[in-house]
Amino acid sequence: MAVHSELKKPPKDAIAIKVNGNLVDLDRPVSPDAQVEYVSLDSEEGLEILRHSTAHLMAQAVLELFPGAQLTIGPPIDNGFYYDIDYERPFTPEDMKEIEKRMARLSKRGFPIEREDIDRGAALKLFEERKESYKVEMINDLPEGEALSIYRQGDFVDLCRGPHMSSTAKLKHYKLLSVAGAYWRGDEKNKMLQRIYGIAFRTREELDAHIQKLEEAKARDHRVLGKQLGLFLVDENAGPGLIYWQPNGNILRKTIERFWEDEHERRGYQLVTIPHIARDELFKISGHYDFYRENMYVLNIDENEYVLKPMNCPGHILIYQQETRSYRELPYRLAEMGTVYRYERSGVLHGMLRVRGFTQDDAHIFCTPEQAEDEVVAVIDLARFMLETFGYENFEVELSVHDSDDFSKYAGTLEDWEAAETALKRALEIREIPYKRIEGEAAFYGPKIDIKMLDALGRGWQGPTIQFDFNLPKRFDLRYVGADGGRHLVVMIHRTVLGSMERFVGGLVEHFAGAFPTWLAPVQAKIMTITDDQIPYAKKVEETLRGGGLRVRSDFRNEKIGKKIREAQMEKVPYMLVIGAREAEAGQVALRVRGKGDTGALGLEDVLRQIRSDVESRAFSPGEN
């Protein structure tokens, strides 16, 4: 991005400009003394402009093909764009193909994309004449005196701030992906619209690479694999957004939880369990009742109001409050796999990734201000250890801090906030972790660190969070007796190192494409017989492996061995033990290893040793050790 103190001829790759920090179209008049930055297509801002313009191209194609369609909004998003449209019938896959073809035709015609400033009255008249009722509603909802602009390309007109590309001829590398329902303005009380999603890139190579990545992601979809592998189910009769863990999924979950509990106890946490419901009074003290009630489930019991807990922190606070605590007892660390319930609109629910009931690997640390930095460093170490153990090697870290221009919306004192933000910053720097500082994105009760883990396809998944809290210690008067004999407010740190178990397991399914490491696999070894004559020996093999602590299943059906092997491969079992007459006579098994195929005949003790080595080392692929 080139910077110029005076206006010069733009570089060939410029598609827009920044005037005193504000993005505008390339041909906008600029004052000679303005600070001008030329924006190229290779920049993130340039790519966003390309995608926004492609959304307009799609809308133009829709209006030409489907007269009477009503446009609402069409913003750029990560990797692409969408446009919400009101039309009398659902768009079909065939419609999507026709829209793409019309987009290509409009692109080739090379319509100039031109901005026009317009006053409120003229804008209302224009869209009323075009019978675009949603645009009329949007204009009427804008504050009086707000500047308006429209963009034209051929006969197409859209209400938009811009900026945009200069011509439809520059919009070439895109693809429409899907149609989904979306309520107008995100409100379930409003009409359901159709949201058409698309992607757009600078080059054909980038587009093709992303399409291939999407195909890989589709093959890893946790909803499909979850059903195929018998991990979980969601039943509409029982209620959307509620996860039922099936036997295989529960084995996976409990394996993770046992590992989590062992590590937390080893690092000085005390494990607790709190009820799923509590009197509303508890959440009135915490502030959740006033600020979060629309996302809470409220029950009436014995003429009292109870709440299905949306957070675990008030319950952990009650446990801390049971005794007067000295500074010598701090830090006091409480941890729990705590299930919480939060109302989410049905339209945003998505498999295990967005649910209404989930179990959070929650912990709360009560400490002195002097201990806070060391505690944060220890949480970072624990989070990295946990995630790396589960195969996540790359992370993106964000540090959310207060808005330096307006401190009035935050709990606590500015001095407290600056100390907390410094502690978080220093902890990241001590561990040499690069991070992105985001000003104004902290919650009102404290600054935080968010760690996103990048999976095998480079996608970010929400994971560990480390959050200071200046609100709850004051609301609950959480204190400790200091060395001076005085009573002081504790520093309270909320943290998760996995996030919700539902989302974490859903992400883990997609990260490994369902082919879990042996230590996590619900079935670590499957025994298959060629004929019924081998069943007695196969049962002894099964007993030996189970006795060695392995999770084993057997397939003694009267089916061809090829079918049994194919089914075990579909189940992504790490080890397959095939037993025929020769193996039974020799006291061996023919060993097949996932990803390696037939590895030959081995004695039973050797097989047991190899599988247990995988489990104990937590190797990512079977047979690595």
Domain ranges of the chain: 3-40, 44-219, 232-274+312-511, 525-617
> Per-residue confidence at 608, pLDDT binned at 50, 70, 90?
very high
Amino acid letter, 466:
I
Element (H, E) at 15: strand 14-19
Q: Is the pLDDT score of 516 beyond 60? A: yes
Q: Is 525-617 in the same CATH topology as 44-219? A: no
Q: Is the pLDDT of residue 146 over 50?
A: yes
Please, what is the end-to-end C-alpha distance for the chain in angstroms? 50
pLDDT classification of 1: cutoffs 50, 70, 90: very low
Residue 189: CB partners within 8 Å, gap ≥ 6?
183
pLDDT reported for residue 3: 40
Which residue type, as a one-letter code, is found at position 250? N
Measuring CA to CA, how many Å separate 145 from each of 123, 221, 352? 13, 48, 45
Task: Using the predicted structure, report yes or no on whether residue 101 has a pLDDT greater than 90.
Answer: yes
Please determine, for residue 545, whether its predicted confidence score (pLDDT) is greater than 90.
Answer: yes
Q: What are the tens digits of pLDDT across the range 324-336?
A: 999 999 999 999 9
Kindly give the interhelix angle for 372-389 and 247-266, rounded to the nearest 10 degrees: 140
Confidence of residue 90 (pLDDT cuts 50, 70, 90): very high
Query: Tell me, what's the pLDDT at 625?
Result: 66
- Which stretches of 166-221 are DSSP H helices? 204-219
Does the pLDDT at position 95 exceed 70?
yes
Q: Which two tokens stand for residue 263?
A: 């590590």
Q: pLDDT, tens digit, for every residue of 29-66?
A: 888 888 888 999 999 999 999 999 999 999 999 999 99
What does the DSSP 8-state code read for residue 273? -
Greater pLDDT, 1 or 146: 146
Q: Which of the four pLDDT bands, split at 50, 70 and 90, describes residue 345?
A: confident
**CATH number corresponding to 525-617:** 3.40.50.800
Answer yes or no: is pLDDT of 77 > 50. yes
* Residues 352-400: tens digit of each pLDDT: 999 999 999 999 999 999 999 999 999 999 999 999 999 999 999 999 9
**The pLDDT value given to residue 8:** 60
> pLDDT class for 94, splitting at 50, 70, 90?
very high
The predicted-structure confidence for 568-582, as pLDDT tens digits, reads as follows: 999 999 999 999 999
Mean pLDDT for all residues in the chain? 93
What pTM value is reported for the model? 0.86
Which whole-number Å values give the CA distances from 597 to 154, 247, 525, 530, 587, in the listed order?
A: 60, 27, 14, 17, 21
Q: How is domain 44-219 classified at the CATH fold level?
A: Threonyl-tRNA Synthetase; Chain A, domain 2 (3.30.980)
Query: Does pLDDT of 102 surpass 90?
Result: yes
pLDDT for 245-291, tens place per residue?
999 999 999 999 999 999 999 999 999 999 999 999 999 998 888 87
Report, as an integer, the average pLDDT of 475-499: 95
Mean pLDDT of 188-203: 94
CATH topology of domain 232-274+312-511: BirA Bifunctional Protein; domain 2 (3.30.930)
User: Do you find a cis peptide bond into 331, omega within 30 degrees of 0?
Assistant: yes
Tell me the two tokens of residue 498. Answer: 């996995």
Catalytic machinery residues: 313, 342, 360, 362, 364, 448, 494
Q: Which residues, 6+ apart, have CB-to-CB distance to 164 below 8 Å? A: 25, 49, 52, 53, 56, 113, 115, 151
